[in-house]
Structure 1
Amino acid sequence: MRVRPPALIATAVLVTGMVLTLPVPAAEPAPLPAVTDYCGGQCADILPPGQNGNATLAEILAHRTLGTRPRHAADQLGKYAALADHHRGLTTGTISRFFNDASFGVPPEQVESRVSPRADVTIIRDRTTGVPHVFGTTRSGTTFGAGYAAAQDRLWLMDIMRRVGRGQLTPFAGGADANRSLEQRFFSAAPYTEEELRQQIDTVARSGPRGAQGLADARSYVEGINTYIRQAHRGRYFPGEYVLTGHVDAITNAGRIDPFTLTDLVVLASVVGAQFGGGGGGEVRAAIAKLAVQERYGLARGEEVWRSLRAEDDPEAVRTLHDGQRFPYGRTPANARGRAMPEPGSVTPQQLVFDRTGSAAGSAAPERVPAPEELEPARGMFTDGVLPANLLEQRHGMSNALVVSGRHSESGHPVAVFGPQTGYFAPQLLMLQELQGPGISARGASFAGLSFYVLLGRGQDYAWSATTSAQDIIDTYAVELCEPSGAPATKESNAYRFRGECRPMDVVERRNAWRPSVADPTPAGSYTLRGFRTVYGPVTHRAVVDGKPVAYAALRSTFLHEVDSLLGFQEFNDPDAIRSAQDFQRAAAKVNFTFNWFYADADDTAYFNSGANPRRSPVVDPSMPIRGDAGFDWRGWNPEGNVAEYTPFAEHPRSVNQDYYISWNNAQALEYAAAGYEKSSVHRGDLLDRRVRELVADGGKVNRGELTSAMAEAGLADLRVEQVLPELLRVIDTAPTSEPAVATLRAWAAAGGLRQETRPGSQEYAHAEAIKIMDAWWPLLVRAQFEPGMGSAAFDAMVGVLQINESPSGFQNEVPGKRVGQPHQGSAYQAGWWGYVHKDVRALLGDPVRGPLGARFCGGGDLERCRQVLLDTLRQAVAQPIAEVYPGDADCAAGDQWCADSLVHRPLGGITHDKISTQNRPTFQQVVEFPSRR
């Protein structure tokens, strides 16, 4: 059923408003269990914009017309934003100005509401944040309450995310280009059948007692979600987006909110895994770039240049483990075999979209997954679709951690400041909660729809968090195409050779049709999504290798195993399972997604790198496509169920009580070749490492305030200025210059190189001119430094592998005549050519460079000509009008520098939030220090 005309919306407000105060039927309140909290008021957390992510139709329309917001929708945003302006001089006594108390329980005077949706559970919400504190007298009641609270806070978000994961967002939310792009991206990564989703649940449930317990927990969690759905629909306090997208009638309340199922949880886990927990892939793009480099330099020299650009195990890279620990994994052998290199120009993306009709047939987008910059916005309430089109595209830059051991703290107890960077959305992808019941005792953040356990947070006397590690668990295999009839194969053939047979590809289809609504007026249309799969996984490209047509397929170790990590998260929440740092490491080892895990209690700190790391053939190069069905498969790999041999616990980077740990998605340990070409001599992890190292140097003692301040300052620092500009100035200083821009940049660097306002709320930067110069200069400099030597083909191919730049304001690669928008995403400086520039100019200056580039680039290797390149591009940057440097977008006027950098909580529903000044820091963040333990 579609929504009624807008003229009836006012009536809908009245009807909705009349029933908002109806009480929710509740059983008698259950007595609350006593829970011991060992944090002593020294645990804090923050998750902007606010806990409440649901809004009724009346609340959405009031927001749109009057600017009001539902209670607790934005009450954490101000605290979060304020840290950028007030981080200097932060003390343990002032942390509460920027973080919320994360103690267990709710003092009686702070109770805002108390409901018991079932006799064995009570949900208490506090006045300050509205966070649900779930107390169950039974385990089933606890997880039921978690589901009920999740639906109270994130029902609409959970609903659209399960549609995204199935590749069926458009029938639910409308045919906006952004919606189409997003459903295509997720469907292409995990084109599961419903039977395969169910099989994953059954496999984990049969794995042992914890697996069986996980299934029981998930069932009661889903029951809690569905209980809330029934009550909210009957009481008319469900999210108003259901009306605006035509699923429920505003007047009669007729319509349907689909109940959740266990397989929905698998879908949500696959979405989270694709976004945050999978490393590797991209081998086809890498092969194209390598061939272009070899075309430029020849085979032998090209191999040398390529390896240097690959930056595999770069000796100058910042690492989380810095005590010399070595954990060999994923490196390229000296004489690799089995590479399946495409013939030049033969690679085409796998077609995904078929049979367009209506507005889909009229789309300018080609029948492939469109890039975000190709999309035109819809003209409804959700101007960019209900989810950002680049949600999956921007997955590499997530999270940071700073953990200092007790021997370097003022109290003698470990101190930790850590959290995930999951982007800025309204509502957040994460939600806060406290869960207390038999076998569960934790508070923290969980992804909406997967919150039957706390995923990142604290237990009774310990805390934990994670950063995305992205070590390589995805390989690309090339399978030879064939025709079952025996006819000659072409790139369009949909059968392939495996173990002596010509097998048809498996095909998974979604037929999606949409109609216009108030929220998305895109005209009616439809198309079919068709995912092609081989035994090696989803097909991503077609090409020609050695004269034969092939399909490239992505083999991911977590494919068909999206819920296996449940076992580790279950233990994180169990106080009987986690009594030591070593217990935590063993639990983290059960997580098959690629994460760096950090732990702190009153005595110990710990680190563990998780992930289902496949054991590869020792002769293959995992950074390049591999020949399938040719003896180069993973050790012990069985395509039935996608199981293989994985590296054991002892071979994963791990540590207990290192002096300190930092992580900002940087390299883990020596000889551990994580995916990502950016892990070179300059990485944003250096911003954290330098500051923490200085705090603990010469017997220094750290407190929570100082460690939080170090994190916040690093989050304002421009990596290019702090780490690379000094070397560029050394080149410029080889001869006198009166260039004013040099002095301007030098003054900014001397002041700390921060992107910070002149005063709180000014929306103007101190050193604004220097910031504008650097933002304009960097992409111009990189192209002028490297393109002449590499040649345009190799340079552009390398840009496809590693973008030049990732500044807060965007425009990452400075493609002539084309700007790609301002991201407003928070995460910055993760991916860029910082290390390439750094190594190249240092070598030119005669400095010792470990792991040097395979060629000299700047000025053709001549110092004087390189200096001229720097000055010429610097003058171009100065001359560039500010409206071109910051050309504006839907959120910002052209030339508005502060706005270009600002953080925008992308609306995933009907409520929007104000912009805040840029901060390169976690979205959810904890500050913890335990004074005692069990």
Structure 2
Amino acid sequence: MPRRTPRNALDRVRTSHRLFGFLKTASVCVLTAALLSPLGQAPAAAAGAAAAPDYCGGRCSDILPPGENGNATLAQILLNQAFGTQPAHAEDQLGPYAGLATGYPALTDAKINTFFDDASFGVPADQVASTEKPAGRGDVTIVRDKKTGVPHITGTTRYGTEFGAGYAAGEDRLWLMDVFRHVGRGQLTSFAGGAAANQGLEQQFYRNAPYTEADLQAQIDNAVAKNGARGQQALADVKAYLDGINAYIDASDSGRYFPGEYDLTGHKDVITNAGTIEHFKVTDLVALASVIGSLFGSGGGGEVDNALSLMAAQAKYGVEEGTRVWEAFRERNDPEAVLTVHGGESFPYGAKPADARGAALPDAGSVVQEPLVHDRTGTGATASAKSMSATAGRTSLGSARRGMSNALVVSGKSTASGHPIAVFGPQTGYFAPQLLMLQEIQGPGISARGASFAGLSMYVELGRGQDYSWSATTSGQDIIDTYAVELCQDDYHYLYRGTCTAMEKIEQKNAWKPTTADGTAAGSYTMRAWRTKYGPVAYRATVGGTKVAYTTLRSSYLHEADSIIGFQMLNDPDYVKGPQDFQSAAQHINYTFNWFYADSQHTAYYNSGDNPVRADGVDAEFPVWARPAYEWRNWDPAGNTADYTPASAHPNSVDQDYYVSWNNKQAKDYTTASWGDGSVHRGNLLDDRVRRLVAAGGVTRAQLVQAMADAALADLRAEDVLPDLLKVIDSSAVSDPTAAAAVAKLKAWSSAGGRRTETSAGSKAYANADAVRILDGWWPLLVRAEFEPGLGSDLYTAITHNLPVDEAPSAGHGPTGSHAGSAFQYGWWSYVDKDIRAVLGENVRGGLGRTYCGGGSLTACRDTLIDTLKQAAGLTAAQVYPGDDQCSAGDQWCADSIVQRTLGGIKHGRIGWQNRPTFQQVVEYTSHR
């Protein structure tokens, strides 16, 4: 669930813009054959059923670009690539989504659905585009609306309802679902070809979850067994859902309207229709869930990276002082951090123990990443192991994920109507087709509308019920620990509770055929993972001269299917009747998310995830010895179960005055795995705006959307750090004309709000373009000049692997990658803010312990800032924005722009940058059951 992931493998799907290179070209004869094939729409049937009870009063809206239709026949793909034509509903939500960036200043409640879609239950009779009875069933109807083509599934039986959900999923996302069931098994290249992006994607997930088929089945069996009647119902729902998917596969195969990617990848013959689209089975959904959970719902795992930067700090300053410096930059519990639960409540988790025990820090220079790829043919030699150190040039070992999603929720005490208002949604990235799909499901025990991940849409995962809505953001608390297992006998045996035990070897062999379109030669390789009781091996090292393997153990490992119960509850109108029921449902979700709720009377929040109870004295920031004294409390390796912190210990709240979340710190004393939860965080952009609205009172839906949209265009550095930088510089002290001109431009931009906005709608040029360019070029220069002299190059570089210096929208070097939308989650803004304020003599709570800019001298710091500013001002636009496969060098707007990254054959145009959720709801319920 709720994209990234950034120092390790979803907070980041770093695919190329053309994931499948073979889709670039096609021959005229194939085009001709495709045009002779049916374009594939199922025949219309009887009208749909009446809408379910809806208490939103027309005030629920949502949006999910680019469009609901994620399937295209071969003819449609080739026409799209040749002429840019789009299949119906393939990108009809992209324009309104993009338009909010320029339209929000004049927004009113009446205009909200100019930029969002009506999310009311049902479809008015005059808006019905099609009605069908999938597979001729009499117990389910799928109605699609004219505007968006979203499926509205109404069943008279539970089986029929879920069958319809599966059938609609096949209609809208069959190819994508097939891609990701192969990704989850590490089989993408064998399925879709050996393009470099395909290899990278399957390797990323296989390293985190090298499951066997037996593992996948066991997860289903365990989830069902431990959840009684709800578990049995979930299994029945899944089987009905799969029957629906497979019925669509059979119908589209015989009717020849299946996705054209099957033709282009050789799974089907365009002339004879020979070939097979494999039916889906239960274990496919677990493989899919493992991908989503890895991307969006598993925080932690950066312990080796932390150890290397701590060692660098101790090498620079000595053990005692180096540890203090490291802790200052780590900001485990920064008193200036923006909080989601902001009433002063304390939820201790992950704190530094008073007397740490069991730490297993590696010997300097000994860490080597465990090789995953072996026996490569066709595209190069076998990959060699990478040696890691705390110095420049190493590959980041960390696990912080790309930040995703945001939420703004205001209590009815502060709204114009007296009812709560919420604007919230997940940031799952921008893809074509989108990873999420929209649907409405109405049937016995199910009543919901919203978004679900393709292939997991037996329930709505983020959306609304009859009289309540819910959403999530990635939370990132630490549920992954790194253990140092002592090797014995050889490199593939280890000590487990005193016994020399063989590691389990898991292999996945992949081979692919040559594709002339993208130049990928035929090839093959084997991915090999070594598993221990303490999880898969990630690195090898020595600790005090003893050879060890570092393994990663996460609480959701072997439990990818468990969360299905929580989603089942959220869809059940007989279960969720208020905020406490919502929290109870969220407690059944074992992935790490922040969950938000709103109905006509109440708001609520709950932080989910199986947080393991660690042994006394274990510091979760660093690797520990794999010994019974340091294991999770009551840990059972057979099923990877342990004691978990109780629900009351998770940050939670009901009816707080307002909630904001943008992957920031959840609550006082609650430590996440993410670096950067300090005084300046992108969560401040929301908190500042919503706090002002609440203080004024009378908040409307339009105002809350405006607050979100304004924050989505803000440059965090310009809004929250630049003013203090300009104080230090003091324009009256700047004699150099180049620097003076730069200061004037930055001041003007700052005074205008520091937003990255177009001069006018569609201009594709920024207002204050020079100031934006200067800050983009200046930030990395000033950070290095400010901190490297004091930290030294080794420690400075080590900390940049824990937390990247910058994540501007155009920064392809950042953890998110270029053209990805999400920005300003990871960077040194808090460090710069605290250091500059200290130089200015201002009060800094939770400071860095020493001043770095100019060695603490205001004059020397000013000189440093002016020198680097002058250097940045001299950079050309082409140097700051060097260009890529999407943009010419120097094209600033294009460098920032969002690209829908192709996961299939259909391509869409770029849109202007916005830092906002992918799927988003705007809700205000007027009544309650």
Q: TM-score, normalised by structure 1?
A: 0.94
Q: Is the 8 A contact 2:370 2:385 kept in 1?
A: no
Q: 2:881 maps to which residue? A: 886
1:7, 1:541 → 2: CA distance? 41
The alpha-carbon deviation at position 409 of structure 1 amounts to 0.3
1:671-711 per-position Cα deviation (integer Å, ceiling 9, x unaligned): 0001111101100000000000001115x210000000000
- Distance of 2:857 and 2:304 partners within structure 1: 34
Instruction: Note the C-alpha offset of 1:19.
Output: 4.0
Q: What is the CA distance between 1:24 and its match in structure 2?
A: 3.8
- Output the amino acid matched with 2:507: E
Q: Give the drift of 1:11.
A: 4.0
Partner of 2:836: 841
Aligned residue runs from structure 1 range 328-339, under 5 A: 328-339=348-359
1:241 aligns with 2:247: no
Other-structure match for 1:376: none
- Equivalent residue of 2:675, what SS? coil
Deviations 1:767-788 (A, max 9, x none): 0000000000000110111111
Q: Could you say if the C-alpha distance between residues 922 and 4 of structure 1 is closer, same or farther in structure 2, counting changes exceeding 3 Å?
A: closer
Corresponding residue number in structure 2 for 1:377: none
Native 8 Å contact 2:22 2:265 kept in 1 = no
- Aligned twin of 2:275: 255
The match for 1:354 among 349, 362, 374 is 374
Determine the structure 1 residue equivalent to 2:87. Answer: 70
In the alignment, is the contact (CA less than 8 A) between 1:245 and 1:520 conserved in 2? no
Alignment of 1:410-429 (within 5 A): 410-429=416-435
Question: 1:473 maps to which residue?
Answer: 479
8 Å contact from structure 1 (residues 120, 138) kept in 2: yes
Residue number in structure 1 paired with 2:238: 218
Select 1:577's aligned residue among 539, 556, 575: 575
Residue 400 in structure 1 maps to residue 406 in structure 2: yes
Asked if 1:453 is matched to 2:463, the reply is no
Question: Residue in 1 aligned with 2:925?
Answer: 930
2:792 aligned with 1:795 = no
Correspondent of 1:538 among 507, 519, 536:
536
1:277 aligned partner: 297
Q: In 2, Cα distance between the equivalents of 1:39 and 1:822?
A: 38
Alignment-derived partner of residue 335 in structure 2 = 315
- Relative to structure 1, the CA distance from residue 241 to residue 366 in structure 2 (aligned partners, 3 Å threshold; closer, same or farther) is farther
Report 1:37-52 matches (<5 A). 37-52=54-69
Query: Structure 2 CA distance, aligned partners of 1:915 and 1:126?
Result: 26
**1:368/1:920 Cα in 2 relative to 1: closer, same or farther (>3 Å)?**
same
1:851 aligned to 2:851?
no
1:870 to 2:890 alignment: no
Question: CA shift at 1:25, angstroms?
Answer: 7.1
Specify the alignment match of 2:495 in structure 1: 497
2:142 is the alignment partner of 1:141: no
CA distance in 1, matches of 2:545, 2:743: 54
Residue equivalent to 1:342: 362
Distance verdict in 2 for CA 1:758–1:25, change over 3 Å: closer
Residue 646 (str. 1) matches residue 666 (str. 2): no
Aligned to 1:710: 707
Is the Cα contact below 8 Å between 1:305 and 1:853 reproduced in 2?
Answer: yes
User: Structure 1's 256 and 96: CA in aligned 2 closer, same or farther, altered over 3 A?
Assistant: same
Q: State the partner residue of 1:765.
A: 766
- In the other structure, the counterpart of 1:80 is 97
Question: 1:119, 1:369 → 2: CA distance?
Answer: 62
Partner of 2:7 in structure 1?
A: none
Deviation of 1:396 after TM superposition, in Å, equals 2.1
The code of the aligned residue for 1:418 comes to: F
Residue of structure 1 in register with 2:35 after alignment: 17
- The amino acid across from 1:114 in the alignment is T
Q: Aligned to 1:538, what secondary structure does the other structure show?
A: strand
Aligned residue number for residue 634 of structure 1: 632
Maintained 8 Å contact 1:11/1:251: no
1:59 aligns to 2:60 (yes or no): no
Distance in 2 (alpha carbons) for counterparts of 1:332 and 1:617: 13
| Contact 2:302/2:673 (8 A) holds in 1 | no
Q: Output the CA distance in 2 between the equivalents of 1:7 and 1:554.
A: 42
For the 8 Å contact 1:513–1:524, the answer to whether it is kept is: yes
Aligned residue type for 1:858:
C
Alignment match, 1:513: 511
In the alignment, residue 895 of structure 1 is paired with which amino acid? Answer: G
Matched residue SS, 2:745:
helix
State how far apart, in whole Å, the 1-side matches of 2:378 and 2:769 are. 48
Deviation of 1:854 (Å): 2.7
Contact 2:897 2:910 in 1 (8 A): yes
How big is the shift at 1:139? 0.8
Q: Give the AA of the match of 1:727.
A: D
1:131 counterpart (146, 150, 154)? 150
| Secondary structure, aligned partner of 1:242 | helix
Scaled by the length of structure 2, the TM-score of the pair is: 0.94
Match of 1:662 among 660, 673, 679: 660
**Aligned-partner Cα distance in 2 for 1:477–1:309:** 24
1:36 alignment counterpart: 53
Unaligned runs of 5+ in 1: 371-389, 484-488, 814-819
Post-superposition offset of 1:812: 4.4
Matched, 1:437 2:443: yes
Equivalent position of 1:740 in the other structure: 741
Q: For the Cα contact (< 8 Å) 1:785–1:859, is it kept in 2?
A: yes
Once the 2 structures are TM-superposed, how far is the Cα of residue 521 of structure 1 from its aligned partner?
3.8
Note closer, same or farther for the CA distance 1:369–1:793 as it changes in structure 2 (3 Å cut): closer
Q: CA deviation at 1:89?
A: 2.9
Aligned-residue offset at 1:845? 1.4
Kept in 1, the 8 Å contact 2:808–2:824? The answer is: yes
Q: Distance in 1 between matches of 2:313 and 2:913?
A: 37
CA deviation after TM superposition for structure 1 residue 366, in Å: 4.6
Contact 1:204 1:212 in 2 (8 A): no
Residue 562 of structure 2 corresponds to which residue in structure 1?
564
Query: Relative to structure 1, is the Cα distance of residues 171 and 658 closer, same or farther in structure 2, using a 3 angstrom cutoff?
Result: same
The number of residues matched between the two structures is 895
Spell out the pairing of 1:895-914 with structure 2 (5 A cutoff): 895-914=890-909
Q: Structure 1 residues 518 and 932 mapped into 2: Cα distance closer, same or farther (>3 Å)?
A: farther
Task: Give the conservation status (yes or no) of the 8 Å contact 1:229–1:257.
Answer: yes
Q: Deviations over 1:580-614 (max 9, x none)?
A: 01100010011000000000000000000000000
Q: Distance in 2 between matches of 1:857 and 1:5?
A: 51
SS in 2 for 1:810: coil
Conserved 8 A contact 2:764-2:894 = yes
Deviation at 1:256? 1.1
Aligned residues of 1:29 and 1:119 also touching (Cα < 8 A): no
Deviation at 1:410? 0.2
Secondary structure (helix, strand or coil) at the match of 1:417 reads strand
- Give, in angstroms, the shift of residue 337 of structure 1: 1.2
Query: What is the alpha-carbon distance in structure 1 between the residues aligned to residue 527 and residue 563 of structure 2?
Result: 29
Q: Secondary structure at the match of 2:629?
A: coil
Q: Distance in 2 between matches of 1:54 and 1:518?
A: 24
| Alpha-carbon distance between aligned partners in 1 of 2:515 and 2:734, rounded to the nearest angstrom | 62
Report the equivalent of 1:379: none
Contact 1:495 1:504 in 2 (8 A): yes
SS at match of 1:87: helix
Matched, 1:721 2:718: yes
Q: CA RMSD in A?
A: 2.1
Give yes or no for contact 1:4–1:249 (8 Å, CA) kept in 2.
no
Give the Cα separation in 2 of the matches to 1:756 and 1:167.
41
Q: Offset of 1:859 from its aligned partner?
A: 1.1
1:334 CA drift (Å): 2.2
Give the 3-state SS of the residue equivalent to 1:544 in structure 2: strand
Q: Aligned equivalents of 1:5 and 1:850: distance in 2? A: 54
- 8 Å CA contact 2:40–2:257 kept in 1: the answer is no
| Structure 1 residue identity aligned to 2:216 | L
C-alpha contact (below 8 Å) 1:536/1:639 kept by paired residues: yes
- 2: CA distance between counterparts of 1:445 and 1:512? 33
- Counterpart of 2:721 in 1: which secondary structure? helix
Distance 2:516 2:825 in 1: 38
1:18: Cα distance to partner? 3.7
